[in-house]
Amino acid sequence: MDTALVKRAETLTKERLAPRAAGYDQQACHPKENWEDLWKEGMLGLCIPRPYGGRDVDPTTYVNVIERVARGCASTAMTLHMHSTATKFIAALGTKQQHERYFSEVVEQGKLVGSWGSEPPISLTRTLLVETSLTPVPGGYHVNGVKHFCTMAGAAGYYLVWGALGGESDMAKSLVQAVVPAESPGMQSIGSWDPLGMRATVSPGTKFTECFVHEAEVLGPGGAPLSCGVIEQFALGYAGVYIGIAQGALDYTAEYCRTRVFAPATEPIGADPLIQRHLGEMAIALDSARLIMDRAAHEWPDADPARRGLLSAQAKYAATEAGIAVTTRCLQVCGGRSAMKSMPIERAFRDVRTATLMPPNADSMLGIIGRSQMGMSTAAFKPA
Amino acid sequence: MDTALVKRAETLTKERLAPRAAGYDQQACHPKENWEDLWKEGMLGLCIPRPYGGRDVDPTTYVNVIERVARGCASTAMTLHMHSTATKFIAALGTKQQHERYFSEVVEQGKLVGSWGSEPPISLTRTLLVETSLTPVPGGYHVNGVKHFCTMAGAAGYYLVWGALGGESDMAKSLVQAVVPAESPGMQSIGSWDPLGMRATVSPGTKFTECFVHEAEVLGPGGAPLSCGVIEQFALGYAGVYIGIAQGALDYTAEYCRTRVFAPATEPIGADPLIQRHLGEMAIALDSARLIMDRAAHEWPDADPARRGLLSAQAKYAATEAGIAVTTRCLQVCGGRSAMKSMPIERAFRDVRTATLMPPNADSMLGIIGRSQMGMSTAAFKPA
Amino acid sequence: MDTALVKRAETLTKERLAPRAAGYDQQACHPKENWEDLWKEGMLGLCIPRPYGGRDVDPTTYVNVIERVARGCASTAMTLHMHSTATKFIAALGTKQQHERYFSEVVEQGKLVGSWGSEPPISLTRTLLVETSLTPVPGGYHVNGVKHFCTMAGAAGYYLVWGALGGESDMAKSLVQAVVPAESPGMQSIGSWDPLGMRATVSPGTKFTECFVHEAEVLGPGGAPLSCGVIEQFALGYAGVYIGIAQGALDYTAEYCRTRVFAPATEPIGADPLIQRHLGEMAIALDSARLIMDRAAHEWPDADPARRGLLSAQAKYAATEAGIAVTTRCLQVCGGRSAMKSMPIERAFRDVRTATLMPPNADSMLGIIGRSQMGMSTAAFKPA
Amino acid sequence: MDTALVKRAETLTKERLAPRAAGYDQQACHPKENWEDLWKEGMLGLCIPRPYGGRDVDPTTYVNVIERVARGCASTAMTLHMHSTATKFIAALGTKQQHERYFSEVVEQGKLVGSWGSEPPISLTRTLLVETSLTPVPGGYHVNGVKHFCTMAGAAGYYLVWGALGGESDMAKSLVQAVVPAESPGMQSIGSWDPLGMRATVSPGTKFTECFVHEAEVLGPGGAPLSCGVIEQFALGYAGVYIGIAQGALDYTAEYCRTRVFAPATEPIGADPLIQRHLGEMAIALDSARLIMDRAAHEWPDADPARRGLLSAQAKYAATEAGIAVTTRCLQVCGGRSAMKSMPIERAFRDVRTATLMPPNADSMLGIIGRSQMGMSTAAFKPA
């Protein structure tokens, strides 16, 4: 792990990113100033190869940077993670020309790359299917279809749009990713964005109508996004986000208990064995999740996609359970006052519940883990 | 149980109260139109004796009316409960003149009565203490102090302000309630109101500075609010609120599972055994909490205050656990789409977590229940 | 509810049945003296119509009698329940001649009736299938097959053996019950009986080899055992057993906490808020399960088989969860000393875990409850 | 970690120790043949310095050897752990002469050393107090008092008896350990040994009546057992025991699910998503506990006693929760058949519940973990 970088992320979060989080949440707006800070620190290149100016950090460093950022601003951490994973796909599946084009814009101009896979009629966690089609036309493709949960819509430089070549339904053969430039005609934002939490991820729907992408803007052969060992990184990084949110909430709560005195008592509530017990249960839960995440990151480089499916399922599941349990409990321990937006833990409570809904869901992850015990398949997704 | 009245509450909620809930939540404003509807249905008099035009319903009817309203609008249900319990205190401790004055204004003019007990430096669930003082002055008292969580602030006709005669700290002797008219000089709203949930309960802080109350506006002898068998009704009604919120969320979720189909599947997700299991776990949890609430209400009339302390602790604790478990799980089952405010369950999730923070807290209730097993005290609160 | 009878069961249990429980458990032998006592009290006729000398108690009385007995001796309660449900089948499906024959032997001679359904190659909770066959021969049938979990083997007067007419696999048409007399040739006890708990139910395997039953010893038409509304009573009564075991353990634990002092402290451990919390969690869990059981019993008489499927699933599931949680926790609260057989709670821990494994299992019950939320089938079993 | 040694322990367990476990359990007898095998493998010297012929393994190797043995025979693992920790005390507090005497007998003769701390009137987890006294007499001390849970009573070569010099109650000053030879006069076994599980640890009570110990048989200065950084190893090793038991049960259960088919189905039950979910929940719980244990062992060498208090509390607590959850669930998944002693998982269920009752208890450990979050004391025990 690059301890210095993780420490830098922690400091940056405390000093610059966290103070803006409540405002972004309230307005449900893009965390542009935070992205700017991350760019200046070189953190938009976490998954970009060094020859192109990136940091190409190891997975342990990666999840810990995400986790530190999430302690202060979950939406910033999530968008950083989506962007980083999109660049990881480009690194894995792109040509040299594509690398040069996209990575330089990220590193030199601070451009972000979104990743848009979800669609209204489908559930990725049940069957990985996309109905958005790439129809061959001279020089490229026409993209048609509807995406939702389009994170960073209107603010990134490019969007990795998951589509099926020719609209075929056999994902193992037809699934590709088009790197659609932000200014492309044929993209229309639809629907509103007013969610429970993760509000600064700004993820409305997008309708594609004969949106032209150049053939040089499509990655890899059909099916590659499923087999290249990158898709599993989504869940790994989510674990970092959830753990970071919960850690921020727990740190706040522990400090509250250590110092808060209610009349007529003269000792802080942290002297109460029942409060100590709550803190103990939260701490051990979060601690466990962190160890599982770190183990996954540690084994990642040598793991094949099936193993990564298992590792990421373990990490995301444990972080989901711990994240929800901890944030719910923090509010209970701090009491009614903590439901106010003047304390940061109600945002943590909303952010974790929202972020943990991203695919694959808990049922799916438990299935993966359970099957691993019997030597059965541990693929992260079940493609159509 | 007055089945017809409960049914009327259910219909009224579906047709008129629920459709306004999202708007009240968004604006964090008083649910005035809902109160108006409740008044017209005679439901502001649930706890007002019949000679004064009230309905004086039995406890089972009471908690079920609250529960039905909460299915559609938690804040409306909570304010109705606070108001009703305040009128119950007036009924129990007031003089004939007080009954005539306050009840007629409620019944004939639709005035609401708030109940303000909490204060910033104290935790009622730990030690029931109020520092707000009633200092005798000619013809009445000066109220001085700071209250927070002042539900219905600025919208009710009267506020039952919990204070200590002469600022004494022995609550068993000094605690009284002043029925402060809304227009009284010396009341100043302080702080903001921007909470996680229960947003339409509008409960900012209030500062009292030599606020004069007439001696005819103070209820009962010192200590009476603790011993008259009404204070336990708070927790009983909270149970109705939590269960109602969760029931609304579960009903929505079950219908979603029964009908929602994701491509390429052709059956709704409710055909999935894992979904059935989630629904089963939620249903039995909520069912249990409801039975405990109904049992408490059923035994209420013959129960002394200590027994009411236990019954209400059982009801509130079970409803808290079920409410939180169910609403959290509803979001998991319905998935990412349900984090959007276009579905009502994210509001349920926020409302339950917020409302369950009201005193006494879960630790306190478990203590009561645990002590009851050993023949020890089951008083709802521990007065200073 | 016949309160006097339930009270009598409670007293009988304390005074006579409970003191023998440890011995029966140790030896894994039939609780014959307890059966004798139950017979003398007329409790072998709980489900026998009054014209035949039975008590024909209502379901609420029934489950509460079972529950009271289980507080002191779980195996006695379970065998009483198995016997009673077997007589219920005879009452529902038998002819007048059958009623006269079997009921008089129960009432007058204290004979017990077992019910043997399970078989080694099948799982009733997954698919209700029996492979034991009744092959027509002159004057009756030959029973062939292997049963296991043959409760009261070698000690009852009759065994209700579940078999398929002609060995057919369509249970809705072929399933019948033969009332096999204990002394019938062709029955051979196989396997051993050395289980975790419920040891005095003495339930080894039995092999049937051309065991002749007279045609007057077979109940009702094919399929009747599934449709007559009695099979659901198994799960309802199990709930009584589990709750009774847990109640016995909790009562013991509460008394232990109320009185046990460890040096150098001078107060009993029940003064510890953490102990109170444990007792509170156990009490509310058990209380919930009891309310669900009592509600099921209350609604039973007017419920059709599908509704009984749901009611019994709710009752058994809630009792399973509460039973396991409570007995596990009782040991934790009482500490290492309570793992000794000189305290009764380690037996409760073993008995609950064992008894709750009887079909239908927890997954199945949650499925029933979950489907009920969507208007889908709530049948207790899925026949082959 | 000495991977080869851990692997050797695993193989030894499978081939020789595990097959004897059911028999030891049934008879509640000392696992003498298993001890003999461990001795021959040099595993009685895990915590004995190498100059004396021991292995002096690192903590990670240590807990993993304990864990591997526990997979097959929990009582063997627990006695190995008690013995090893007793030798660790001797290593830490003994003189060169004591080292030479005791270690040579262990290494060369296979003698075991027990550790007897608990007493009937006290609860070590609440207040670490011993009332057994060491009264100075010429040449040594008279030991007087009563111990219970005297593991390996009658079978070890020496017993480390925790006593107070002069019967003083200030443990920080008076607590010492006498290494009492097995053949000493004045020791009398009292009480019986018939527990739920861990039956082959054979731990009845012992009464000491003017039992003489030579002054060369007492370790270190008064208070040293609390401050030397060894007492915390008890809880660390317990974690290994619990995890090993649960791992054995889970492995068995996974294999059962992978292969068991019930008619009329043709696929094994492991194909059922609900079964996969159970396995998933068990696997992740156990996995978490293992990571926490390994982390504790990894940090152990550089940790001071307060830190070891926290690390061991984390390890024991996580292992307790996982151990109980996993073994209970294994029985549920495998169903009624698994309550039979012919399957090993009912023993696992009993052993875990019993072993996890050893001090410090779960409440105490959560308190330690909770306090660590607020910078408060994390000592493993609270001495009188």
Compute the distance between CA of residue B113 and CA of residue B86 in angstroms, rounded to an integer.
Answer: 6
**Is D314 in Cβ contact with A276 (below 8 Å)?**
no
Ranges of residues in chain D with a pLDDT under 70 are none
Burial class for A136, CB neighbours closer than 10 Å (0-12, 13-18, 19+): exposed
Of the residues B373, B376, B377, B382, the best mutation for testing chain C's interface (the one with the most C CB atoms within 10 Å of its CB) is B373
Least confident window among A128-132, B296-300, C376-380: C376-380
Residue numbers in A near C278 (CB within 8 A)? none
pLDDT band at B220, cuts 50/70/90? confident
CA dihedral over D263, D265, D271, D274, signed as positive or negative:
negative
Mean pLDDT of A277-298: 98
Alpha-helix residue ranges (DSSP H) falling in chain C: 3-12, 18-27, 32-40, 59-72, 74-93, 96-109, 171-174, 224-227, 233-259, 273-299, 305-334, 345-355, 362-372
**Is A149 in Cβ contact with B328 (below 8 Å)?**
no
Residue numbers in A near D276 (CB within 8 A)? 366-367, 370-371, 374, 376
Between strands C187-190 and C205-214, the pairing is antiparallel
Residue with tokens 């459709």: B19
Of C270, C363, C368, the CB nearest to B374: C270
Other residues' Cβ atoms within 10 Å of the Cβ of residue B251: 13
**Is A197 in Cβ contact with B339 (below 8 Å)?**
yes
Name every residue in A having a CB less than 8 A away from some CB of D.
Answer: 250, 254, 257-258, 270, 273, 275-284, 287-289, 291-292, 295, 314, 317-318, 363, 365-376
**pLDDT number for residue B2:** 98
Residue numbers in B near C371 (CB within 8 A)? 276, 279-280
Of the residues C269, C272, C274, C332, the best mutation for testing chain A's interface (the one with the most A CB atoms within 10 Å of its CB) is C274
**pLDDT tens-digit map of C54-91:** 999 999 999 999 999 999 999 999 999 999 999 999 99
**Is B258 in Cβ contact with C374 (below 8 Å)?**
yes
Of D284, D365, D368, the CB nearest to A318: D284
Of A284, A292, A365, the CB nearest to D314: A284
**Is B318 in Cβ contact with C280 (below 8 Å)?**
no
E-assigned strand segments in chain A: 113-116, 133-137, 140-147, 158-165, 175-181, 187-190, 205-214, 218-219
Chains that touch C (3 or more CB pairs under 8 A): A, B, D
Q: From the CA of D81, how many Å to the nearest CA of chain C?
A: 18
Compute the distance between CA of residue B209 and CA of residue B188 in angstroms, rounded to an integer.
Answer: 8
Picking from D183, D210, D161, the residue whose alpha carbon sits closest to that of residue D105 is D183
State residue C212 phi and psi, 5-degree precision: -80, 130
**Is A350 in Cβ contact with B350 (below 8 Å)?**
yes
Q: From the CA of B278, how many Å to the nearest CA of chain D?
A: 11
Burial class for D139, CB neighbours closer than 10 Å (0-12, 13-18, 19+): exposed
Q: From the CA of B7, how many Å to the nearest CA of chain A?
A: 32
DSSP A213: E
In percent, the amount of chain B with pLDDT more than 90 equals 99
pLDDT band at B118, cuts 50/70/90? very high
Q: At what angle do helices B74-93 and B96-109 cross, to 10 degrees?
A: 150
Compute the distance between CA of residue B209 and CA of residue B221 in angstroms, rounded to an integer.
Answer: 23
Cα-to-chain-centroid distance, residue A171? 23
**pLDDT number for residue D40:** 98
Of the residues A242, A317, A340, the best mutation for testing chain B's interface (the one with the most B CB atoms within 10 Å of its CB) is A340
Q: From the CA of B95, how many Å to the nearest CA of chain A?
A: 33
Name every residue in B having a CB less than 8 A away from some CB of D.
Answer: 272-274, 277
Query: Does residue A220 register a pLDDT over 90?
Result: no
Amino acid at A325: A
List Cα–Cα distances, A107 to A8, A38, A161, D200, in angstroms.
18, 11, 21, 66
Residue numbers in D near A254 (CB within 8 A)? 373-374
Chains that touch B (3 or more CB pairs under 8 A): A, C, D
Query: Does residue C220 register a pLDDT over 90?
Result: no
List Cα–Cα distances, C285 to B298, C279, C292, C334, in angstroms.
20, 10, 11, 18
Residue numbers in B near D273 (CB within 8 A)? 272-274
Residue numbers in B near A354 (CB within 8 A)? 336, 339
**pLDDT tens-digit map of B158-168:** 999 999 999 99
Of A349, A359, A361, the CB nearest to B196: A349
Compute the distance between CA of residue B212 and CA of residue D367 in angstroms, rounded to an integer.
Answer: 48
Of the residues A274, A281, A332, A363, the best mutation for testing chain C's interface (the one with the most C CB atoms within 10 Å of its CB) is A274
DSSP C216: G
Chains that touch A (3 or more CB pairs under 8 A): B, C, D
**pLDDT tens-digit map of B342-384:** 999 999 999 999 999 999 999 999 999 999 999 999 999 999 9
Compute the distance between CA of residue B3 and CA of residue B65 in angstroms, rounded to an integer.
Answer: 10
Residue numbers in B near C247 (CB within 8 A)? none
Residue A284 C-beta-side C-alpha neighbours within 13 Å: 33
**pLDDT number for residue B167:** 96
Q: Per the structure block, which two tokens stand in for B270?
A: 């409710």
Residue of A nearest to D288 (CA): A288
How would DSSP label each residue in D19-30? Answer: HHHHHHHHHT--
**pLDDT tens-digit map of B175-219:** 999 999 999 999 999 999 999 999 999 999 999 999 999 999 999
What value of ipTM does the predicted structure carry?
0.97
Compute the distance between CA of residue D20 and CA of residue D18 in angstroms, rounded to an integer.
Answer: 5
List Cα–Cα distances, A109 to A36, B148, B184, B277, D7, in angstroms.
10, 49, 61, 50, 54
**Is A197 in Cβ contact with B331 (below 8 Å)?**
no
pTM tops 0.95: yes
**pLDDT tens-digit map of A179-197:** 999 999 999 999 999 999 9
Q: Three-state DSSP class for B381?
A: coil
Other residues' Cβ atoms within 10 Å of the Cβ of residue A3: 9
Interface contacts A/B by beta carbons within 8 Å: 122
**pLDDT number for residue A128:** 96
CA dihedral over C36, C42, C43, C49, signed as positive or negative:
positive
Identify the bridge partners of residue C180 per DSSP, sorted by sequence position: C159
Cα-to-chain-centroid distance, residue A180? 20
Chains that touch D (3 or more CB pairs under 8 A): A, B, C
Q: With beta carbons less than 8 A apart as the criterion, state whether D309 and D232 touch.
A: yes
Q: With beta carbons less than 8 A apart as the criterion, state whether B208 and B362 touch.
A: no
Amino acid at B189: S
**Is D284 in Cβ contact with A374 (below 8 Å)?**
no
**Is A374 in Cβ contact with D258 (below 8 Å)?**
yes
**pLDDT tens-digit map of B224-277:** 999 999 999 999 999 999 999 999 999 999 999 999 999 999 999 999 999 999
Q: With beta carbons less than 8 A apart as the criterion, state whether D300 and D59 touch.
A: yes
